[in-house]
Structure 1
Amino acid sequence: MPDNIVAGGVSVDTRHWIGGRRVASSETFTDVSPIDGGTIGEISRGTALEAAAAVAAAKAAFPAWAATSRAERARILHAIADGVEKRIEELSIVETTDNGALLRSHRRGVIPRVAHNFRFFADWLLKLEHEDFETRGHTNHVSWDPAGPSVLITPWNAPLMLATWKVAPALAAGNTVVLKPAEWSPLTASLLADIAAEAGLPAGVLNVIQGYGSEIGDALTSHPDVRRISFTGSVPTAKRIAESAAGNLTPLSLELGGKSPLLVFADADLDLAVDLAVEQYDNAGQVCLAATRFLVEESVAEEFTRRFVEKAARLTQGDPRDETTDIGPNIHPRQLEKIDAFVQRALAAGARAVIGGHRKDTQYYAPTLLTDVAQDSEIVQEEVFGPVLTLQTFSTEEEAVRLANDTRFGLAATLATGDAERAERVTEQLVAGTVWVNCFFVRDLQAPFGGSRHSGVGREGGTWSFDFYCDVKNTVTAPNGGKNHG
């Protein structure tokens, strides 16, 4: 097969990146664009052999990279960010071609955020410290030691941004990396390897291996030389990774699914609440943080629904390369089938589609809002990961909190209210890693990010990322060099 394919007019190498060089596999898998279902090209399909080679390369490169000064690591991360910024247009069009998200979003926010990820963790590294403290005259000094080769397994809904949420802190921490991108959207990970090499990242510090998780996942996550594993994706896959890592007691960071609520109280600014609600269709509903369950106080539910339907009707669904498009396609025909199956089962069980409830064609699912859904129903309890929302009502604050917390997930929650005291009361009771009050998707890298319950294990962001990717050490020193002055 050819070593390169062209995606959106941009040449992308289809081979793995291992030990500072391109490595091809004998087998391939087909990468398909969700925009029209057309084939983009054939991608090297990794095996356990390539997985072992990638880990070996990361292990070999680790001692020198771990010994590299903080200042030099930070300089290289900034150089990677420079490379990303020079190629924003190329990265944006490749990402849109590969995963179907809006081109305007990639250009204006998502890909610039990739560069920011590297800059943030480069800068945070340089100020990472814990104030020394005394214990009976002894000095305690906390330090962060690089842990070792890290396997990072990333999802398809925001491929490069979510990958670099992990790659940037892992590299900043002094770890070497094996990145396994999702097989439905592998292309920008390959471009990242090129950018990192051009920025001067030493060979073997970043490795990229492509393929199916079912074929190479265990070879990566069970490898005895892997010191950290970070995964973003589904709960069932996370359980398999945890089982695989258990034999070596490899520490895990897991950012998993969500079934997050949007609580709308009668005292809320309804226009704001509706804006927040319609925003949940972002990226065709393929956002783990999305508030897919609307919980609306009974007295305003009818008016909220009316305004929501009016605003949702103004959304434009279509080609994500068009500046006027608001909702693009879903990632893959299999995902579309999964979404539709959820909706059809819900309708058969008695749910009512206020809008949508059907496919538009083989790539696009109509934005959907379902009512008359039971709290214990599948559509309320399970993550759909598509443009499908539900609406339930409540009559008291206590009922709102109970419904909000009544799933196995706990990734995020959004609250619309005009009462500051109520906001404080309710947020204290919500089970969620992130709570937004009268806003949505405000995300700062210095804040902790992660989920509760089945939504994840651990936190990413700021010092929390370094705590995970490092072995945190405390050194205790006796006073006066340990001399006994009796």
Structure 2
Amino acid sequence: MTEHITTVAGVAVDTRHWIGGERVASVETFTDVSPIDGSTLGEISRGTATEAAASVAAARAAFPTWAATSRAERARILHAIADGVEKRIEDLANVETLDNGALLRSHRRGVMPRVAHNFRFFADWLLKLEHEDFDTRGHTNHVSWDPAGPCVLITPWNAPLMLATWKVAPALAAGNTVILKPAEWSPLTASLLADIAAEAGLPAGVLNVVQGYGDEVGNPLVSHPDVRRISFTGSVPTAQHIARAAAANLTPLSLELGGKSPLLVFADADLDLAVDLAVEQYDNAGQVCLAATRILVEETVSDEFTRRFVEKASRLRQGDPRDEGTDLGPTIHPRQLEKIDGFVRRALDDGARAVIGGKPKDGLYYEPTLLTDVAQDSEIVQEEVFGPVLTLQTFGDEDEAVRRANDTRFGLAATLVTGDHERAERVTARLVAGTVWVNCFFVRDLQAPFGGSRHSGVGREGGTWSFDFYCDVKNTVTAPNGWQDHG
């Protein structure tokens, strides 16, 4: 037993899969390493097609009973899971900080409380989910949400538990069973979630956690004919691969993919606010899909904006994410650091200028970077870097601002800073994005639709949109007569 337990920040974490209510070990393992200092966190069971098939079989076997469980009981169990998360916020925060390098203070104060909220929100939304009956020539139409079946949920490494539960909670609330495959670079809190869910009374097989690499365990999961929904957050190439695999079974997909979001700053904006929002894009070492990495500033205020930006960004403290005073932690993995640095070096070779940053530091840390003198069609402007790298371009008028903002293949989010309400309405109406923030950033409500346009994704989740995806939505039409009198 102890050979499958690793201790991380004083917390015991089981390194095996969770399948059908039991811990299952694989023949082979992979090494999980902390990005903070390169220390080994554990040897994690490395899933294959065998574990994939077993997890789908467990989910399929558990589905009829869970689907038939009342809404009230499903909601009760989801609230119990939230209770379990709240009791273990400190454990979860410490483990995830070591596993993915994000700030401990953020995990304690924001991320892990949000994990609990994910379960509570969808439990409560389930209880009020309804569509008013409507009439068609005297016939009654009644809309219902039927559980779809086993769901495969594939989640990223940048906010592992929060983004996993953003999918797990509505899928379970809808009456589905789940196979969760966490990212191999940050798998530990998914294992802890399995423990918490079991302690909360979630029946065996309703939630399964399978660890490993995409080509070894992810591919047999997404191509399995018994899987009825696939939700994925990650890169465009991986999403294209998943979509091809799912196509054979016509398995519905929800895809939340990359971003290259703009931050538009007009001359009438509150520049201090604009600078604050721009510097905020370095959060989580820039490893945020929603980050507004393309800063677009009206020419007449670009010099002053840049001066204030450099002054504020220079005060950011980069270092150990466990320290309360740290603002930027490390990147997740040597491959990610190499990718980020490659983008920057090629941009500099092409004539870009680094106003700040522009190179890696010790370990997996990369300096917060701002690049100017970049062409609209350049790689650094068009492709997602996923690191602490921003570009700054200028525009002359509103039309040019919108044209530049929309001129990528992505459309996940956009941020607009202006003091003119009418301009805000004009510009937001023209921006191609799933979410637009005006004079703010990262204000999220789970009842709002979330997703991307173009190559930033397919579908919307959040509130009723989540249940629309995770369920088979049914309309029942009943005639007004024809009933027998049974006395």
1:434 aligns with: 435
1:155 aligns with: 156
CA distance in 1, matches of 2:407, 2:3: 51
1:45 aligns with: 46
CA distance in 1, matches of 2:44, 2:198: 20
Q: Deviations over 1:38-86 (max 9, x none)?
A: 1111000001000000000000000000000000000000000000000
Q: Deviations over 1:268-311 (max 9, x none)?
A: 00000000000000000000000000000000000000000000
CA distance in 1, matches of 2:282, 2:251: 36
Q: In the TM superposition, what are the counterparts of 1:5-404 in structure 2 within 5 Å?
A: 5-404=6-405
Q: What is the percentage of aligned positions where both structures have the same residue?
A: 87
Counterpart residue identity of residue 404, structure 2: L
SS of the residue 2:481 aligns to: helix
Q: In the TM superposition, what are the counterparts of 1:423-462 in structure 2 within 5 Å?
A: 423-462=424-463
SS of the residue 1:475 aligns to: strand
Determine if contact 1:351/1:372 at 8 Å carries over to the other structure. yes
CA distance in 2, matches of 1:266, 1:156: 37
Q: Segments of 4+ in structure 1 off by > 3 A?
A: none
Q: Deviations over 1:147-167 (max 9, x none)?
A: 000000000000000000000
RMSD over aligned CA atoms reads 0.7
Shift of 1:440: 0.1
CA distance in 1, matches of 2:218, 2:43: 20
Shift of 1:214: 1.5
CA distance in 2, matches of 1:178, 1:421: 47
Shift of 1:361: 1.7
Q: Deviations over 1:233-287 (max 9, x none)?
A: 0000000000000000000000000000000000000000000000000000000
Shift of 1:2: 1.4
Determine if contact 1:222/1:244 at 8 Å carries over to the other structure. yes
Counterpart residue identity of residue 242, structure 2: I
Counterpart residue identity of residue 279, structure 1: E
Shift of 1:91: 0.2
Query: Taking structure 1 as the reference length, what is the TM-score of the superposition?
Result: 0.99
Shift of 1:482: 6.3
CA distance in 1, matches of 2:10, 2:359: 33
SS of the residue 1:341 aligns to: helix
CA distance in 2, matches of 1:41, 1:69: 39
CA distance in 2, matches of 1:9, 1:365: 28
CA distance in 1, matches of 2:131, 2:46: 44
CA distance in 1, matches of 2:268, 2:137: 54
Q: In the TM superposition, what are the counterparts of 1:470-485 in structure 2 within 5 Å?
A: 470-481=471-482
Q: Deviations over 1:438-477 (max 9, x none)?
A: 0000000000000000000000100000000000000000
CA distance in 1, matches of 2:3, 2:262: 47
Shift of 1:8: 1.2
Determine if contact 1:336/1:362 at 8 Å carries over to the other structure. no
Determine if contact 1:31/1:42 at 8 Å carries over to the other structure. yes
CA distance in 2, matches of 1:427, 1:136: 41
CA distance in 2, matches of 1:299, 1:480: 72
Q: Deviations over 1:104-134 (max 9, x none)?
A: 0000000000000000000000000000000
Shift of 1:480: 2.7
Q: Deviations over 1:402-432 (max 9, x none)?
A: 0000000000000000000000000000000
CA distance in 2, matches of 1:115, 1:420: 36
Greater shift in the superposed pair: 415-424 or 1-10: 1-10
SS of the residue 1:165 aligns to: helix
CA distance in 1, matches of 2:223, 2:159: 26
Shift of 1:350: 0.3
CA distance in 2, matches of 1:460, 1:94: 28
Q: Deviations over 1:166-203 (max 9, x none)?
A: 00000000000000000000000000000000000000
Query: Taking structure 2 as the reference length, what is the TM-score of the superposition?
Result: 0.99
User: Any gaps of 5 or more consecutive residues in structure 2?
Assistant: none
SS of the residue 2:3 aligns to: coil
SS of the residue 2:365 aligns to: coil
Shift of 1:481: 3.7
